[in-house]
Structure 1
Amino acid sequence: MIKRFGSYISIALAMAAGMTACNDNSGSGYVTEDTGYTSETMYSSTAITSFNLKANSKVLADLDSIFFTIDLETGRIFNADSLPYGTDITKLIPNIGTSGSSKIEILIRNSSVMKDTTITYSSSMRDSIDFSAGGVIARVTSLNEQYTQQYSIRVNVHKVKSDSLVWDRIAWEQLPGNPEKQRTILHGEKVYTFLQSADGSCRIAVMDDPIEPMALTATATLPEGLNLRSIVSNDAAFFALDNDGNMYTSTDGTAWTATGETWSHIYGAYESQILGVKKTGDDYYYTTYPDNGTSVKVAADCPVSGTSDLLLMEGSKWADGPQAIFTGGRIANGNLTGATWSYDGSKWAKISETPIDRAKEGMSLFPYFTYRKANKSWRVTKLFTLFATGGRLGDGNVSNYVYVSRDMGITWERADRLMQFPSYIPAFYNADAVVWASELGSRSSALGWNEMASPAIPAWLTPLTDGSRAVTPVTTWECPYIYLYGGDNASGSLNPQVWRGVINRLTFKPLI
């Protein structure tokens, strides 16, 4: 249990009961002759009541605002929210406060940059301390110099890059069946993957959890010329277009029937409705299935093909009701855009004030989280974030840059270096993104996944939580994985792999 100074007196009472001060002439062991203070008060003067690091912008901005926990029961001082990966902690100066001690000594042991030594602390101290070896001890002597207490001090630094994406490859080097095309979407509470071979045959894998091994369990009888990439779901049924724009539907993905509709592009599903575009003459019109009876011409700068998957947001501080959004695509005049468009149940609108700076088609759009640090407190806040990645540029090249928006697509920016994909993930477009909370811990290395080598996670690392705290030992915990299925390279060939990843901070085992 973590306690502050006020609670320390109860510990001191128990310990002082068996002690007799050297200058106690009464034999009671309760009143000290030199000061008149009780023994437990003297022992309590060995309590460290405050600890932080002196400011040093060359090491880290706002270094002096980092919060340290003082555990008086176990004699530990540490920062539970670790410093960023790579922070140099070999030359730091501490600020230490007590309730009236006579002396504070700092013992340095096992340092690679300092000799083993003992430094007498003062508030004006300029000697820096190497905290990198973990061998720093603060020894506090009581006001009457009769008692001492030692505290181990640890300055924690992330051993892996915080807030970067770490990707793990599926156990198989290729998707089952050596497919030429693939489409993966959510349908109800399951993940459906359609895999089409060169001969046109199509198999389906249905997964309750995408962390489980993929198994092809059904064969789809697709209408001739069905565009696999156009398949969408409203949870009740699948819908897709063929190469001539004819719309088909299926309840299970295997048997398809014509709807009688002819569209040029499907955006996706808004609750039970399917949203898309029809072309009449030279003009494009927004349309729905079932038809809602309205006919509105598509805005000149709104994409009519090549859009990302449509995401349905159930509500946010930017909108009262559900919002469906997509990013990127090709507009009617053939140009590409990096803007985000939104549908609120009745009308479409472009919401991007700062679009993605490189216009693309076939981007992967998914919701996730990022973290932002307050300038003064060093506290970290979890933020709902949209990610857009991949895509094909106007010159035919493909990209794997990662972009983020923390305001539902109004403002986009290229993610910082730590959140860009590692070099071993190839550039792509038309990959399918699924975010799914999978159980980590005891099952993380099972189920056929070949995980990339990663550093051991120290026990003292803590995840950002929503205020809850584990009260029993934790052996498994849920983490939202990002799964990226397939994707085409610049020549249009399928990348027959599934990549999965998380933002590192979410993989840290909860503090026990």
Structure 2
Amino acid sequence: MKGKLLSTAVLLLSAISLLTSCLGNNDEKTTYYGETAITSFKLGTLKRTIHTKNSAGKDSVYTTTIDCSGYSFYIDQINNRIYNPDSLPKGVDVGKVICTIAAKNGGVILLKDNDSDSLFYYNTSDSINFKQAREFRVMSAVNSSETATRSYLIDVNVHKEVADSFSWNNLATNNPQIAALTAMRGYALGGFVYVVGNKGAGVEVYRTAESDGATWSAVTPNIALSTEAYKNIAIQDGTAYLLNDGAIYTSSDFKTWQKGASAATIKQLLGSGTKKLYALTTTSGLAASVDKGATWIVEKLDNDAALLPTEDVSFVCRHGSAGDAVDYLTIIGNRADSYSKDSTAMVWGKVEELSAGGKTQAWTYYPIARSDRYKAQRLTNLQAVLYGNGMRAIGGSGRGASKGKAFAQVYTSEDGGLHWPKDTVVTMPTGFSSSETSFALVTDSQHRLWIICGGTGQVWKGLLSGLAWKKEDTIFQ
């Protein structure tokens, strides 16, 4: 930075002189302001270094420029902090920053040296090093002999990761408890990830903290769980709902279950939306409950109920954005082996309007054209979850007429389940190994994706970097 170095005393005198010189010597009443403040901070165009691969697949580096004027900086006048809650992209050089700063009532803006108490006049043409937080001061005249001074710490935040980068961590390579399960599903509740699965003729429940994954502890339920329990659980508002032996049970910890209403007409509990639970019925239809499973109302379908999946079923709910009072619902799964010509999964969708007086929509079947390059494959133990901007799905070998290969890729859908191309960001972990019929795909409250593997006892946890970025406060009271 090129700037004029001045002592604090000189700066005070200069600020008073500069800000009071225009007051004149007449007797008109002059209003003085008892405070001073920085009122805006804005960046200009900065350089960015990008690492990529060339057409030959080799690492390549190039430098470009990026207009950073659109990144908002919040000014916390209570704590005297200025920062950008939406960090600049990875690779942006903040060592030489041209910025525009404005102060209240034309105050004089000064920049403190990093290594001393020296102060410099701020100039809009100066290049400033923001690789670490910088202290700025602003001075305004209160009267002919006094100035108001205020210091701010300004941070220019830069992401350390690319927004769409994803990485896996192998938390367990051979957990014997997990390895012994012959069928399972996973659920996130109350800061824990639970696995419910079958072992021989019995049912086991294990849990680990979302921050862990290496250590699992057994959970002993206060009721006997059926061997169908693992795939009959839905989570809603911090409560687990279970269909077990013809009744609905609730729990907050998978240990203490309270029996609720009888559910003789329900075959499988699928999942939940904002207000409803959803289930397959014993008459091969869909039903929903708005009273925690006490009563069930048959859902409307726009096509033959025979097209509903009955095995390997996943239920996904994506909540609408703020002000959009809807749930976007997707059901994906397979039909029974008797439908031997099926090569694709069965996918249904619904827009559930939540506002008072909202229209009741029917469930829509999504037929898959032969020419569709991105079909939902009919895979063994197919499982799908909501993650990031869409759904992610994995599965074992193809069933029926499907030629899908076991765990060959992660499938993604960002259009509600209509198309399922190969995911180029979230990929299968290197060294992954699992039973095709026993694994669990789970997302937790910290935006992490889990794969828990029967047969091998592997536990994988991954994170899409953009989902982990902390959102700073932008409202100060």
TM tier, smaller = 0.5 to 0.7
Residues 272 and 238 of structure 1, relative CA distance in 2, 3 Å threshold: farther
For residues 394-444 of structure 1, give each alpha carbon's deviation from its aligned partner in whole angstroms, at most 9, with x where no partner exists.
242423436253x64457676674xx258457377664334454xxxxxxx
Q: Which runs of 5+ in 1 are unaligned?
A: 1-19, 111-115, 240-248, 254-258, 279-285, 371-384, 438-478, 488-493
Q: Does 1:432 align with 2:433?
A: no
Rounded Cα–Cα distance in structure 2 between residues aligned with 1:336 and 1:319: 36
Aligned residue number for residue 232 of structure 1: 232
Residues 305 and 293 of structure 1, relative CA distance in 2, 3 Å threshold: closer
For residues 33-62 of structure 1, give each alpha carbon's deviation from its aligned partner in whole angstroms, at most 9, with x where no partner exists.
763499994885x63222110144856755
Rounded Cα–Cα distance in structure 1 between residues aligned with 2:77 and 2:189: 51
Q: Does 1:80 align with 2:85?
A: yes
Secondary structure class of the residue paired with 2:314:
coil
Counterpart contact for 1:191–1:207, Cα < 8 Å? yes
For residues 62-96 of structure 1, give each alpha carbon's deviation from its aligned partner in whole angstroms, at most 9, with x where no partner exists.
51021213345655432233334443322321011
1:70 to 71, 75, 82: 75
Aligned residue number for residue 367 of structure 1: 386
Aligned residue number for residue 350 of structure 1: 365
Q: Taking structure 2 as the reference length, what is the TM-score of the superposition?
A: 0.56
Counterpart contact for 1:339–1:356, Cα < 8 Å? no
Which amino acid in 2 is paired with 1:349? T
Residues 296 and 276 of structure 1, relative CA distance in 2, 3 Å threshold: farther
For residues 297-326 of structure 1, give each alpha carbon's deviation from its aligned partner in whole angstroms, at most 9, with x where no partner exists.
8589x5757654234679999999987632
Q: Does 1:133 align with 2:136?
A: no
Counterpart contact for 1:267–1:307, Cα < 8 Å? no
Q: How far is the alpha carbon of 1:179 from its aligned partner? A: 0.8
Q: Over aligned residues, Cα RMSD in angstroms?
A: 6.0
For residues 433-485 of structure 1, give each alpha carbon's deviation from its aligned partner in whole angstroms, at most 9, with x where no partner exists.
34454xxxxxxxxxxxxxxxxxxxxxxxxxxxxxxxxxxxxxxxxx4665443
Counterpart contact for 1:185–1:232, Cα < 8 Å? no
Aligned residue number for residue 49 of structure 1: 39
Secondary structure class of the residue paired with 2:348:
strand
Residues 509 and 322 of structure 1, relative CA distance in 2, 3 Å threshold: closer
Residues 321 and 141 of structure 1, relative CA distance in 2, 3 Å threshold: closer
Which amino acid in 2 is paired with 1:49? T
Counterpart contact for 1:268–1:276, Cα < 8 Å? no
Which amino acid in 2 is paired with 1:390? I
Counterpart contact for 1:105–1:138, Cα < 8 Å? yes
Q: How far is the alpha carbon of 1:192 from its aligned partner? A: 6.6
Aligned residue number for residue 218 of structure 2: 215
Q: How does 1:491-506 map to 2 (within 5 A)?
A: 494-500=455-461, 505-506=467-468
Q: How does 1:95-494 map to 2 (within 5 A)?
A: 95-99=100-104, 101=106, 104-106=109-111, 109=114, 121-123=122-124, 125=125, 127-134=126-133, 136-140=134-138, 142=140, 147=147, 150-159=151-160, 173-176=174-177, 178-179=179-180, 181-184=182-185, 193-197=195-199, 200-205=200-205, 213-215=216-218, 217=220, 231-233=231-233, 235=241, 237-238=243-244, 268=270, 274-275=279-280, 286-287=284-285, 298=304, 307-311=312-316, 325-327=330-332, 329=334, 332=339, 334=341, 336-337=343-344, 340-342=347-349, 348-351=363-366, 357=374, 359-360=376-377, 361=379, 362-368=381-387, 370=388, 385-392=389-396, 394-401=403-410, 403-405=412-414, 408-409=416-417, 417=425, 420=426, 423-424=429-430, 426=432, 431-435=439-443, 437=445, 479=446, 482-486=449-453, 494=455
Residues 133 and 291 of structure 1, relative CA distance in 2, 3 Å threshold: closer
Counterpart contact for 1:203–1:217, Cα < 8 Å? no
Relative contact order, higher structure (CA 8 A, sep 6+): 2
Residues 152 and 274 of structure 1, relative CA distance in 2, 3 Å threshold: closer
Aligned residue number for residue 3 of structure 2: none
Q: Which runs of 5+ in 2 are unaligned?
A: 1-11, 49-63, 235-240, 255-262, 288-295, 353-359
- Percent sequence identity is 20
For residues 123-159 of structure 1, give each alpha carbon's deviation from its aligned partner in whole angstroms, at most 9, with x where no partner exists.
4x2x53331133x344546579985655432201234
Residues 48 and 335 of structure 1, relative CA distance in 2, 3 Å threshold: same
Rounded Cα–Cα distance in structure 1 between residues aligned with 2:127 and 2:325: 54
Counterpart contact for 2:247–2:264, Cα < 8 Å? no
Q: How far is the alpha carbon of 1:496 from its aligned partner? A: 1.9
Secondary structure class of the residue paired with 1:50:
strand
Residues 309 and 318 of structure 1, relative CA distance in 2, 3 Å threshold: farther
Aligned residue number for residue 113 of structure 1: none
Residues 98 and 195 of structure 1, relative CA distance in 2, 3 Å threshold: closer
Residues 75 and 130 of structure 1, relative CA distance in 2, 3 Å threshold: same
Q: How does 1:30-41 map to 2 (within 5 A)?
A: 35-36=23-24, 41=32
Counterpart contact for 2:345–2:376, Cα < 8 Å? yes
Rounded Cα–Cα distance in structure 2 between residues aligned with 1:22 and 1:322: 62
Which amino acid in 2 is paired with 1:401? V
Counterpart contact for 1:106–1:118, Cα < 8 Å? yes
Rounded Cα–Cα distance in structure 2 between residues aligned with 1:320 and 1:36: 61
Residues 96 and 64 of structure 1, relative CA distance in 2, 3 Å threshold: same
Aligned residue number for residue 455 of structure 1: none
Rounded Cα–Cα distance in structure 2 between residues aligned with 1:71 and 1:318: 27
Aligned residue number for residue 94 of structure 1: 99
Secondary structure class of the residue paired with 1:327:
strand
